[in-house]
Amino acid sequence: MYKVFLNEHQLFWDDEIDCSSKDNVVDVVEIEGVVDVLKLFSKLENSKYVVKLIIISKLSQNSMQLLKNNITQIPAAGGLVINNRQQLLMIKRMGKWDLPKGKIEKDELPEDAAVREVEEECGIGKLKITQQLPSTFHLYRSPYIKKRNNWVLKETHWYEMAYSDQEKLVPQVEEQIEEARWVSCDDLQEFYRNTYGNLQDLLKPYLP
């Protein structure tokens, strides 16, 4: 099952479902084609209410593949960095706490992109990847796509990284990063409440 965020809406793309109340999902939406998908997105982006939906396809093609085949995909990568004091590296961008991440460049491996983005956005190096974390997915409209269907599906590949040096954090202001900070797990709850839903899933295992 793929969990995709559209703003704070949670869309579960799965064609073999147990229609229980697991994760508080109570509504199932059947789609017959991309027109149904785009209508649903337009409805949700203007909705005042946050919902959780299971999306299934009436076609032979599964629902997630239908989505991927009909909208632009942009792969990204980022890092969840832990220092030798067991603190997590977080950045503040446009008033929300976030993790360093960015687009994967042409012919670049996701793990290389993740390390590069942390270095660029926070000004530190000597990072060591310790494990791959689950990818996150979110949908948004791109002003750079000059057509009606300007939806983008961004998959972000995440990696846990170890950092043992003492370099000063330098937030990349060109990327609208206001602050970079080391956060202890004991204090993480405060930052957790002011981050994005997909990052909450990623950060939850690190909460005390």
Give the Å distances, CA to CA, from 102 to 106, 132, 151, 168, 176. Answer: 13, 16, 18, 21, 13
Same domain? For 144 and 65 the reply is no
pLDDT tens-digit profile of 145-189?
988 899 999 999 999 999 999 999 999 999 999 999 999 999 999
Same domain? For 110 and 52 the reply is no
Q: Whole domain around residue 91: which residue ranges?
A: 76-206
Same domain? For 109 and 11 the reply is no
Residue 48 has pLDDT above 90, yes or no: no
Residue 16 has pLDDT above 80, yes or no: no
Same domain? For 20 and 59 the reply is yes
Residue 20 has pLDDT above 60, yes or no: no
Task: Give how many domains the chain has, as a whole number.
Answer: 2
Same domain? For 63 and 80 the reply is no
Q: Which of 30, 51, 70 is the last residue of a domain?
A: 70
Name residue 3's beta-bridge partners. Answer: 12
Q: Which of 29, 51, 70 is the last residue of a domain?
A: 70
pLDDT tens-digit profile of 97-138?
999 999 999 999 999 999 999 999 999 999 999 999 999 999
pTM value?
A: 0.91
| Residue 95: per-residue pLDDT | 93
Name the average pLDDT for the chain.
92
| Residue 113: per-residue pLDDT | 98
Tell me which of 62 and 203 has the higher pLDDT.
Answer: 203
Same domain? For 104 and 23 the reply is no
Same domain? For 53 and 85 the reply is no
Q: Using an 8 Å Cβ cutoff, are 34 and 41 in contact?
A: no
Q: Which of 70, 105, 128 is the last residue of a domain?
A: 70
